[in-house]
Amino acid sequence: MVRDPLDCFAPLAKTGHGTLRRLHRLRQHTTRVRLTRNGRVPDAVRRLLKFLHTMGSAGLLGALASLVVMLSLAPNPAALPGYAATRGAMGAVATWVFLPSLAVTLMSGLVAMAVNRAYLNAGWAWLKLATGVLMFEGGLVYVQGPMQREAELSAKVLAGLGNPATLAVSLPGERGTLWVLLLVSAANVALGIWRPRVLRIPHAT
């Protein structure tokens, strides 16, 4: 049976449940957090946060682009040795590059918002944070987890310990999810550069 192409967006949509409530609680707490000295953020802290955020974004975009390319060039499961090798590489990229880069990007952005009051009232910053939280949830549940399981499953099948019919079941959903995350990551980079005045957040009381 042919799947609806829009089904690939369903996993990401599901991860959005409760995200806004978390962000509302986060906004209440970040107004109390300050890594400042005499009311100003040390220059070394700002530069470190910018470095971490830039490196995390670069790693995230690179990992997503690599996964898209490897997924499109992956052999058919009938060519089991090549398929298992490709899925093993994809699982490694998802675990050791994609997820850490996403975590570094998200956490450095959170700390930057905590130490800079201007970010707390900037709509573009909260939009980046919302999409970042959504991407972390979606990436953990629908990218890193499934790719790691597929890598392990293909290795077992190659060793004669599994059923080949269970391979590549999640392939259409993986492809769509990766493209969505790649586009959202690029949009977040654009938000950080141009910083449009999409929304003005009032000061928290």
Residue 36 lies in a domain: no
Of the listed ranges 17-26, 75-84, 110-119, the least confidently predicted one is 17-26
Q: What is the pLDDT of residue 31?
A: 46
SS3 per-residue string spanning 47-93: HHHHHHHHHHHHHHHHHHHHHHHHHHHCCCCCCHHHHHHHHHHHHHH
Half-sphere exposure of 47 (CA within 13 A, CB side): 3
Query: For residue range 34-57, what is the model confidence (pLDDT) as tens digits?
Result: 445 555 678 888 899 999 999 999
Domain extent, residue 84, equals 8-28+41-194
What span, in angstroms and rounded, lies between the C-alpha atoms of 132 and 128?
6
Residue 200 lies in a domain: no
Residue 19 lies in a domain: yes
What span, in angstroms and rounded, lies between the C-alpha atoms of 60 and 139?
11
Confidence class for position 172, pLDDT limits 50, 70, 90: confident
Residue 102 lies in a domain: yes
**How many domains is the chain partitioned into structurally?**
1
Residue 100 lies in a domain: yes
Of the listed ranges 3-17, 64-78, 146-160, 182-196, the least confidently predicted one is 3-17
Between 25 and 73, where is the model more confident? 73
Q: What is the pLDDT of residue 22?
A: 57
Residue 161 lies in a domain: yes
Which residues have a Cβ under 8 Å from the Cβ of 198 and sit 6 or more positions away? Answer: 123, 124, 127
Residue 3 lies in a domain: no
Residue 87 lies in a domain: yes
